[in-house]
Amino acid sequence: MTSFTTAETSSSSLPPGDSRTRVSAFMKSLQDEICTGLTAIDGEKPFREDSWQREEGGGGRSRVLREGNIFEQGGVNFSEVWGDQLPPSILKQRPEAAGHGFYATGTSMVLHPRNPYIPTVHLNYRYFEAGPVWWFGGGADLTPYYGFTEDATHFHKSFKETCDKYHPEYYEVFKRWCDEYFYLNHRGETRGVGGIFFDYQDGLDPLYRGPYPESSAAIYSEKLPPQSPRNWEDIFGFISDCGRTFLNAYVPIVQRRHQTPYGDRERQFQLYRRGRYVEFNLVYDRGTIFGLQTNGRTESILMSLPPLVRWEYDYHPEPNTQESRLYEVFLKPQDWLNWPEKA
């Protein structure tokens, strides 16, 4: 692992003087662009917007679509907050930030479609500054109820193309990171087919700097020998492009699936699988925990939870069904880019 010092950071990768203005303007424009794109496919119904202020500093703009044609519920949040001290969960990862104020801005989105053949999808991009350190994080991941390999491949391919424009190793590292992060340990399942995810991107090589996730640190540092540090502009450019990749990665899947007929069986399975989404968001999700720990706006943070959810004790899908295939194929890390054509 490359050793890390404050001096190294400041010499190689200082953010520009207008970093906060530029990133928050981008995050707002990403929210606008996504809401416009979703309104276009869902029909006329506009998002409801709530602006909110945070007592300790900052605020946000929450947008929610309820009972749409395509989306049973969709939420797209922008927020920009600051305060005296980052919460302990983050300070543990970035001890250099202790004793400093922080600034954080980001956009996050979760969509819960009505038709069980359309996957749920999540996106989040975020930026932090705290004393001597700054970093970008985020990603996007897809959670099908009924799996289609061509959907998974399309989603991954879209992000792979964007990644490749910026760094030859981005896709491989961030795809793997996504599989590891969106993993329900107590279920032994991935949340879905993944996508890309990364955190603490601060321009220092290797791409991944420990201690999270431990299992990958060794692999990443072995695969990625120190190179010249990436600078702030490189990374901001990369995450902006990732954000703008979302609609092209997801909308074609919606268009392909939203007219597929379904009945009570598919609906019940969808409601049951939504329970896993709740379990992930409340037990593991870093964004949720950050929000709740920093007195964020609870309604905006928990907007990610599905409108209707079912739990069933000791449920197992019948063998040789579409439901069992979800578990066997789509809830495990897979190489979606090289998936055999007709598998």
Q: Do residues 207 and 169 lie in contact, with contact meaning Cβ atoms separated by under 8 Å?
A: yes
Q: Do residues 177 and 183 lie in contact, with contact meaning Cβ atoms separated by under 8 Å?
A: no
Name the nearest CA neighbour of 287 among 161, 188, 186, 141. Answer: 141
Q: Which of 25, 98, 219, 308 binds a second copy (CB under 8 A)?
A: 308
306 binds a second copy (CB under 8 A): yes
Residue 202 beta carbon to a second copy: minimum distance, rounded to whole angstroms: 28
CB neighbour list of residue 245: distance below 8 Å, 6 or more residues apart:
140, 158, 159, 161, 162
Looking at the Cβ atoms of 1 and 292, the one nearer to a second copy is: 292
Name the nearest CA neighbour of 301 among 310, 309, 292. Answer: 292
278 binds a second copy (CB under 8 A): yes
- 122, 154, 156, 167: the active-site residue: 122
Q: Do residues 2 and 226 lie in contact, with contact meaning Cβ atoms separated by under 8 Å?
A: yes
Binding-residue pattern over the window 36 to 55 for a second copy, x denoting contact by CB under 8 A: --------------x-----
Residue 251 beta carbon to a second copy: minimum distance, rounded to whole angstroms: 23
212 binds a second copy (CB under 8 A): no
258 is catalytic: no
Q: Which of 244, 310, 325, 327 binds a second copy (CB under 8 A)?
A: 310
Binding-residue pattern over the window 106 to 125 for a second copy, x denoting contact by CB under 8 A: --------------------
Site for a second copy in 172-201 (CB under 8 A): 185-187
**Interface with a second copy by CB under 8 A: which range of 93-101, 238-246, 248-256, 278-286?**
278-286
Q: Tell me the C-alpha distance between 131 and 311, whole Å.
A: 44
As given in the structure block, the two tokens for residue 317 are 């899908």
Classify 251 as helix, strand or coil: helix
Catalytic residues: 122
